[in-house]
Amino acid sequence: MQRNATTRYPILLVHGLFGFDRIGRFELFHDVKQALRDADCQVFVPQLSAVHDNEVRGQQLLNQIERVLEGTGASKVNLIGHSQGALTCRYAAALEPLKVASVTSVSGPNHGSELADSLRKALVPGRLPEHVAEELATHFAQWISLLSGRPALPQNAVAALNALTTESVGQFNQKYPQGLPSVWGGQGAEQVNGVHYYSWSGTLQADLITNLRPLDPVHGVCRALSSHFVIDEGQNDGFVGRYSSHLGTVIRSDYPFNHLDSLRRSAGLSSVIPDAIDLYTEHALRLQAAGL
């Protein structure tokens, strides 16, 4: 029997880098959105640039929040951001805390990504490799926007990459510190300016059974990218370090998930990997219990 997890305020699912709401019949948050709607939650997926910096995307999110509030009559929203979407949500909550009931970071680089650091070092500003990478990534993002029916949204791949490095996120955090832990690997304040903060994330597991996923190329890519981590060596999901993901109340930061597992069903691996989609329904119940 489906649990009733109706939240007081609507939920907005905020995508990260190269994300989108819908392309044709494919929705990035399909499983998550369906599970939450089955649990009687009111759910929306805002339209944001696929690649841009945190503040540009944050302003876009604020505009979307206004539309949701006007359309639903609600006074606030609950924000759940995946990956860079977590930074986008944090920006919106910092600027308009009276319109945000909660921010939940899912696999969010809240202290930056060592992978972004490695890419930034490899792509020297002004050199040909950076120019080629920028053109390819930006055109890919424009293609995503076109297919999703949002061709007018601005795209800037270099701005997105710069916004995810540990240095840039450090600067971002100085301006918007709400919910951040005071010590590395710790928990942050549960509530700041009336906004509740939560986070969860995963790590690539060392045991053979969990890693035996030959038909999942995304998992292989994440394992290959994990070699770029030093601070969170052996404690990352391929894109984001475990302790970099901490924000507010840390529900758990070592689920056996790679970076994209936290958005999808476990594809027959449920005996090994907890179903990530159930975490969203559980979280809706958590928000419900908190009166959010």
Query: Which residues have a catalytic role annotated?
Result: 83, 237, 259
Question: Is 226 within 8 Å of 242 (Cβ atoms)?
Answer: no
Residue 100 contacts residue 65 (beta carbons within 8 Å): yes
User: Does residue 43 contact residue 77 with C-beta atoms inside 8 Å?
Assistant: no
E strand or H helix at 146, and its extent? helix 128-147
* Alpha carbon distance 261, 237 (integer Å): 9
CA torsion sign, 123 to 129 to 134 to 136?
negative
Measured CA distances, 207 to 149, 178, 196, 203, 272 (Å): 42, 36, 35, 12, 11
**Which two structure tokens, joined as six digits, stand for 227?**
């070699």
